[in-house]
């Protein structure tokens, strides 16, 4: 047995597997000199479920119920990216009303994700109260999701060419009520947290990432914008109807944990502004492009040489993906969520590669924690 050669005064500690989402997916092997972190090795892959290969053996409609499992905190974004790729490959037009509904759902999901970042973040640095507050607001968002989609977390709401159903009667008024209420709660968060001297002592100047570093490491989302780069895919790519709404990219230049906190707090306020404008300006018309159900459909679909019509009594629509390749992306709460998609004149994608923002952002973790101290609480 080979024993790793280490200095006598160094200690190797196994932290994890921990659960940044809902399962044990992150393990850290930390080398300590007393309380100082000398080295950190993150180990991933404890929850690999083969989502890409499942996508390559399903039609898009069949695969949609799976995708919310990519990210339990921002479920609408995984659905959005799953339908955006085939829409761009097939040049499918989305009705204006459906686009507005999508934006409303995406921004509600962004707020829900940022809230569940805020609560555990504050608990980790010793403030337990915000952890309970954020669930109060998240429950209201889930109530809105449940009323519109029938599900609180796994919605299966987005469709190629639109959404699954129109907004129910009274939903817009309820969403307005939530927006007005949530703005008062954000003010409460800011009074409780932002200028708290203990909070500032523990986050200001901690976890610094410079402008050059975030670009070299390929970081995105609040990690990128907190280091002085005004880059938001909602503004850069102009997908859905964001260019018709008045909002501002939230950014800071300090590059530390405080800056990332301020970016996320600012983004929640901007999301409320976007939702309010979308609710006020939502047009009439269809919520789905029904014409696509008649075009680009496989005449005799097969599933791995098995006749697909025998799989179930009522088969789902099988849209034929053109023989092209495409990279499509959205601005998810954690950063750039992308998919590299290759069609092959088939109902199933030939290649489906996911670009997860959290996985990419975690690359810089060992560099951030070096020379920091390990908390003993």
The pLDDT tens digits of the residues spanning 199-241 come to 999 999 888 999 999 999 999 999 999 999 999 999 998 888 8
User: How confident is the prediction for the chain on average, in pLDDT?
Assistant: 86
Q: Give 176's pLDDT tier (boundaries 50, 70, 90).
A: very high
- For the ranges 16-30, 38-52, 311-325, 333-347, the one whose mean pLDDT is highest: 333-347
| Tally of CB atoms within 10 A around 118 | 21
Quote the tokens at residue 57: 């053996």
Quote the tokens at residue 88: 């761009």
Helices assigned H by DSSP within the chain: 51-55, 60-67, 75-89, 96-124, 129-149, 171-189, 197-203, 211-217, 222-225, 233-236, 257-281, 357-361, 365-369
Instruction: Write the pLDDT tens digit of every residue in 33-57.
Output: 888 899 998 887 776 678 889 988 8
> Bigger pLDDT: 61 or 215?
215
Q: What is the pLDDT at residue 344?
A: 86
Beta strand 335-342 pairing with 325-332 = antiparallel
pLDDT mean over 349-360: 90
Q: Of 313, 324, 194, which Cα lies nearest the Cα of 265?
A: 194
Q: How many residues are recorded in the chain?
A: 377
> Bigger pLDDT: 186 or 293?
186
Q: What is the pLDDT at residue 21?
A: 52
Q: What is the pLDDT at residue 295?
A: 47
Q: What is the pLDDT at residue 315?
A: 52
- For the chain, percent of residues with pLDDT exceeding 90: 50
Instruction: Write the pLDDT tens digit of every residue in 73-106.
Output: 888 999 999 999 888 888 888 999 999 999 999 9
> Bigger pLDDT: 273 or 153?
273
Q: Give yes or no for residue 304 having a pLDDT over 60.
A: no
**C-alpha–C-alpha distance, residues 266 and 23, integer Å:** 29
Q: Give yes or no for residue 111 having a pLDDT over 60.
A: yes
Pair 76, 154: CB distance under 8 Å = no
pLDDT mean over 100-119: 94
* Angle, in degrees to the nearest 10, between helices 171-189 and 257-281: 160
Q: Give 303's pLDDT tier (boundaries 50, 70, 90).
A: low
Q: What is the pLDDT at residue 213?
A: 92
Pair 12, 27: CB distance under 8 Å = no
Q: Give yes or no for residue 23 having a pLDDT over 80.
A: no
Q: Give yes or no for residue 292 having a pLDDT over 70.
A: no
Q: What is the pLDDT at residue 376?
A: 66
pTM of the shown model: 0.88
Q: Of 20, 25, 28, which Cα lies nearest the Cα of 45?
A: 25
Q: Give yes or no for residue 170 having a pLDDT over 90.
A: yes
Q: Give 126's pLDDT tier (boundaries 50, 70, 90).
A: confident
Instruction: Write the pLDDT tens digit of every residue in 237-260.
Output: 888 889 999 999 999 999 899 999
Distance (Å) of CA 78 to CA 43, 62, 241, 320: 24, 14, 18, 21
Q: What is the pLDDT at residue 293?
A: 60
Q: What is the pLDDT at residue 7?
A: 56
Q: What is the pLDDT at residue 313?
A: 47
Letter string b/e over residues 209-248, b meaning 16 or more CB atoms within 10 A of that residue's CB: beeeebeebebbbbbbbbbebebbbbeeeebbbbeebebe
Q: What is the pLDDT at residue 215?
A: 93
Q: What is the pLDDT at residue 1?
A: 41
Q: Give yes or no for residue 345 having a pLDDT over 80.
A: yes
Q: Give yes or no for residue 30 having a pLDDT over 70.
A: yes
């Amino acid at each position: 047995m080979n024993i790793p050669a280490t200095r006598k005064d160094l200690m190797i500690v196994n932290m994890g597997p921990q659960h940044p989402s809902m399962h044990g997916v992150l393990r850290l092997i930390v080398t300590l000199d007393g309380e100082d972190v000398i080295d950190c090795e993150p180990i991933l892959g404890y929850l690999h479920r083969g989502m890409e290969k499942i996508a390559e053996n399903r039609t898009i409609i069949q695969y949609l119920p799976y995708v919310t499992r990519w990210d339990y905190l921002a479920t609408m974004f995984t659905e959005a990216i799953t339908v955006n790729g085939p829409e761009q490959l097939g040049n499918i037009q989305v009705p204006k009303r459906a686009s507005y509904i999508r934006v409303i759902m995406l921004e509600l999901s962004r707020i829900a994700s940022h809230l569940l970042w805020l609560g555990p973040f504050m608990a980790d640095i010793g403030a337990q109260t915000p952890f309970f507050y954020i669930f109060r607001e998240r429950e209201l968002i889930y109530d809105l999701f449940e009323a519109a989609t029938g599900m609180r977390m796994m919605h299966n709401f987005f469709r190629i060419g639109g959404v699954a159903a129109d907004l129910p009667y009274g939903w817009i008024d309820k969403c307005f009520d939530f927006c007005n209420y949530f703005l008062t709660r954000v003010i409460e968060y800011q009074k409780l947290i932002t200028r708290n001297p203990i909070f500032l002592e523990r986050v200001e100047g901690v976890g610094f990432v410079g402008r050059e570093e975030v670009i070299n490491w390929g970081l995105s989302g609040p990690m990128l914008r907190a280091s002085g780069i005004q880059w938001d895919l909602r503004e850069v790519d102009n997908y859905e109807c964001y260019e018709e709404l008045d909002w501002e990219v939230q950014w800071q230049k300090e590059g530390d944990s405080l800056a990332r906190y301020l970016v996320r707090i600012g983004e929640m306020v901007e999301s409320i502004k976007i939702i309010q404008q979308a609710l006020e300006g939502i047009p009439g018309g269809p919520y789905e492009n029904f014409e696509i159900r008649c075009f680009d459909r496989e005449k005799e679909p097969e599933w791995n040489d098995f006749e697909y019509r025998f799989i179930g009594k009522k088969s789902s629509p099988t849209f034929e993906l053109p023989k092209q390749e495409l990279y499509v992306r959205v601005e998810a709460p954690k950063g750039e969520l992308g998919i590299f998609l290759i069609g092959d004149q088939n109902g199933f994608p030939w290649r489906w590669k996911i670009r997860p923002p959290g996985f990419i952002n975690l690359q810089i973790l060992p560099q951030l924690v070096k020379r920091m101290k390990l908390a003993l609480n």
